[in-house]
Chain A
Amino acid sequence: MPEKAIEIKNLRKEFRSSLNPLNLVEFFFPRHKTTVAVDSFDLDIFKGETLGLLGPNGAGKTTLIKLLAGILYPTSGEIKIFQRPVDEQKINIGLMLGYGLIYYRMTGYDNLKYFARIYRVKDFDSRIMELAELFDFKDYLYDYVENYSLGTKSKLTLARALIHDPEILILDEPTLGLDINVSEKIRKYIKGLDKTILLTTHYEKEAQELCDRIALMSEGRLVKLEQKEKFDEVINSFTKLGEKHVSVK
């Protein structure tokens, strides 16, 4: 039995939000709405495997990722990373969350250097150069990130996630909005990594190419979990959900 890298048990996350006040009474005594983003979620991810998380918009994928990264705390349930609480394992997690998590008002180099120091990378200069060369943004390394193209921002965000060579990589739609060449390059790199990877994507091809197992999430719940070989079954389930968010790229 392979070692469990991530264990999720009976996870639930609720968000409480106030409704827009419609009148003076509601302005002073606002009504609240509770949204369940993740519900009764159980999942084990094994060391070294790449698990793809599919699901329509609003399924709770990003919330789940934020819970795993320690950005959010669960309402109930438990997450263990290598049998320890998330808070104690943040240093072993690399996170890519859209184009966020990087400072546009600093250069690419300063961004990577900052995160390298925070994640206690010793020889950070050579690591920064290695990643900049790998993702082909060495020429822009000393430019402000605000001047980067979407693709270069995406590469920098991925480099940020990898700067400390983490054991677990959590990638939220890593190729969203990127052109075919950049997407291909990032996919190729991810495929070559010997790490535990959790990846959300809307792209069927990406999931099929990169993942060992595929999980389908809907309305906060895990509705299907299959090996790569049964990928078509997952897609069929997805279609049956009445959603057609998985596009072919």
Chain B
Amino acid sequence: MDAKQGKKLDFSPILVPLLSILVALAFGGILIFIQGIDPLLAYRVLFTTAFGSFDGIAITLAKATPLILSGLAVAICLRAGLFNIGAQGQLISGALASAWAGYTFVGLPALVHIPLALIFGAFFGALVALVAAVLKAYRGVHEVITTIMLNSIVIALSDYLTSNPFKEPDQPLTRTPKIQDSAQMPDLLGLPLGFFLAIGLSITLWWIMRNTTTGFSIETIGRNKNAGWYAGISVKKTIMLSMLIGGAVAGVAGAVETLSIIGRFEPAFNAGLGFDGITVALLGRANPLGVIPAAILIGGMRASGSTVQFEAGVAPELVDLLLAMILFFVTAPLLARFFKNRKENVAMTSGWSN
């Protein structure tokens, strides 16, 4: 990021996400009202469940953990000007790989087994991203297309693997065997260990983006590819690197989910985590630290969805609806423009050459 942004505080990066959440809640409220339910009650239940008690917060943070990571996977790519829709596929690949490492290796101490399984997850997440990265860097194929298609490929492939070579023997279910106890990620202070890992990764990536030459290269290519090329930054290398980081982080997201929550790989158990990552990244303004509050918010909504249905009688689709609207408003250029730095001359148009 920039060398010091100056002393003036600029609230617009916080204002836009905050406003989109509020607007989404308002529209959601109307829809709840149409169902004949008091929206305030529904929202009160939603928020007290998610954030009202220590247990609630612990569940929320557990839900937020893979979202922080998948949000990070999308955010890093966004920094480089790439839209990684493939976090879902990368995450599934990482989840399956870590499950395999988790049940295959026997007799390892936890201190070795857990990191090993995580590295498996990161590696196989990155492997999926590698395909899109090579196609983008060397053949100019748009990453949105390739990552979407890779999602389908990975999902189909993981279905095949879990119902054939990796299938738990003598079981009717399509799933892998359970991971060894030594691969099970423990809790720390009542919170999943993965949560701290996610926070640590966020801070690390934030620091890398801010303080290292690699971060500056990624940022420069993301903001102006032509100027990056002019300045001697390798566009290809930077695209490869950021996609691989993104894929690895998404893979870790899947691995953490496998090793601390699910305990094995089972198709469809990870559904949507990668896609929620897109919302998280955009809501967090593609900032590695910004994804943390965004993921906690969305994790909270996911955690309390069923309670809201139970206690307030709201359809369970409410949470998906709210998330979709948040995504819509946060990307709506209108709001963004409204809070654009007004000192800047508002350009009415841009040239067509770029």
Please indicate whether A and B come from the same complex rather than being unrelated chains: no
- B interface residue numbers (CB < 8 A to A): none
- A interface residue numbers (CB < 8 A to B): none
